[in-house]
Amino acid sequence: MGILKIMNERVKKLSIIDLKLAQGGAMFLVIILVKLIPEIMNINIWWFVTLLVICVIKPLYVCWIKK
């Protein structure tokens, strides 16, 4: 069994609350990193915009376009 199949089975066990808690944890991890390394915030805003677009392409595709 491939790693993607195993991870898909594990993710299917999570409830919406579990997913939101994981998102919150990731958010707080990023806040901690920014507090520890403040130079991260000196990066040009367009890098953040590019990363945002890269991260939302797949979920938007699955939600709105894929049949």
Per-domain boundaries in the chain: 3-65
Decide if pLDDT at 67 tops 80: no
Running DSSP on this structure, what letter comes out for residue 38?
G
What would the pLDDT profile of 31-52 be if each residue is shown by its tens digit?
A: 999 999 989 888 898 998 999 9
What's the CA gap between 53 and 45, in Å, rounded?
A: 13
Buried b (16+ CB within 10 A) or exposed e, 20-52: eeeeeeeeeeeeeeeeeeeeeeeeeeeeeeeee
In this prediction, residue 33 carries a pLDDT of: 92
What's the CA gap between 6 and 22, in Å, rounded?
A: 18
